[in-house]
Amino acid sequence: MAETNFFQNRRFCVTGGAGFLGSFVTAKLKERGAREVFIPTIERYNLVERDDIRRMLDDARPDVVIHLAAQVGGIGANREHPADFFYSNLMMGVQLIHESWQRGIEKVVAIGTVCAYPKFTPVPFSEDDLWNGYPEETNAPYGLAKKMLLVQSQAYRQQYGFNSIFLLPVNLYGPRDNFRLDSSHVIPALIRKCLEAQDRCEREVVVWGDGSPTREFLYVEDAAEGILLATEKYNQSDPVNLGSGREISIKDLAELIARLTGFEGRLVWDTDKPNGQPRRALNTSRAAERFGFRARVDFEEGLRNTIAWFRENRASLKLD
């Protein structure tokens, strides 16, 4: 079936479709010719509740569900709300997949997290190592809740022949990201801190940890492209990494963001704060082999786009 027909001939429900990643996924769905894309909002549907999931599916009548909705945050938010992160993410995903199976929905695309990997996974992370240890402690509840959707996907395929897939994106960044310091990830937090330090004529920016951990980042538009390629072309329950293939230390990242934002002061490392997982970088060969995904946006270009978007929009954002 031609790509345009796949998207034109199906109804899509995108949970989290009004959010950061979701806004890019829904835009790309429409670019591909999808005529019916249902975007549930948190004001109308609390997807932790089974009755709300059922009502959403009644209203959407989807052929394909793309499940992006999640309760997420950086290390601080994960440390403060481990029970919330575990319960909300588990209940949303497990009940949604179960209700979708019961209704005979054609396909569910479940989005996992790189936090599901064991703390000391050999780098680059291979999907085959997903079960070889316990996740890094600060985000283990969130990572394990998401990981259960992989177990469910594989179990429902084995017993019922139900078509669901499980994707593992690395840390995302880009325009429209969350820049609230109480819940943001490292890139938007550092961008905001550097720009606000300049505004206040401050000479220091404090960064969590000691700068030694490494991370891999995927531009949000690339992530959306990978998700839609998998939605169309991938129909197995083996987990698949979505990443860029570039590993960078937090120290180098902070220095790069300082340079790109024009902050010329000093970076101060708060070593009383946790580092998180020591290293994080993905083997992305499975995504390339199974549905042809490769990241395209250069990291520095993506950071420049993100900084420019925040400069242009920060006056209108709710940042407190």
The residues that are catalytic are 142
Cα R_g (the chain), whole angstroms? 19
H helix runs in the chain, sequence order: 3-8, 20-31, 50-60, 75-80, 82-102, 140-160, 186-199, 220-233, 250-261, 285-291, 299-313
Q: Are 218 and 306 contacting, i.e. CB atoms less than 8 angstroms apart? A: no
Task: Give which of 69, 62, 71 is closest to 99, Cα–Cα.
Answer: 62
* DSSP 8-state class, residue 87: H
Return the C-alpha torsion angle 73, 79, 83, 87, nearest 10.
20
Q: Give strand pairing partners of 12.
A: 37, 64
Nearest Cα to 164, choosing from 204, 105, 210, 243?
A: 105
Nearest alpha-carbon partner for 240 in 94, 128, 141: 128
- Phi first, then psi: give them for residue 205, nearest 5 degrees: -125, 130
The amino acid present at 87, given as its one-letter code, is Y
**Site of tokens 């940890």:** 209
38 and 11 Cβ atoms separated by less than 8 Å? yes
Task: Output the CA–CA distances (angstroms, integers) from residue 56 to 60, 67, 246, 291, in the order listed.
Answer: 6, 13, 38, 29
| The pairing of beta strand 11-15 with beta strand 164-169 | unpaired
Whether the bond into 124 is cis, omega within 30 of 0: yes
